Amino acid sequence: MDVYLRDQGRPFTIDRVQQIGGQIISGLKYLHERKIIHQDLKPSNILFGGDYETIKLIDLGVSNRLDKTRANTRAADRGTYRYMSPEQLNGSLSFKTDIWAFGCVLL
């Protein structure tokens, strides 16, 4: 997504933001239904398909299963600070962590 944003050179239309945002939310919904928190959602972890229409969430290397999160390393030690929720910075994770990062990505 970083390359796409750089190549665009102009702000997206509201329709394009809704299209992209809807696909990101669908991907997060899929993960959350499986009790997985992405934990590092940011533009460089969002790819476009060759048609620039299909969104793919990548880099689940620091993701956590919600039911095992407490046993893993501290939440604030994993992810990208710029996109971390206040709870994550305090060492706690929930699905809200990804929703916060989603808002940061949209901004």
Catalytic residue annotation: 40
Nearest to 80 by CA among 21, 47, 46, 39: 39
Return d(Cα 1, Cα 7) in angstroms, integer: 10
Per DSSP, the residues of 42-63 read -GGGEEE-TTS--EEE---TT-
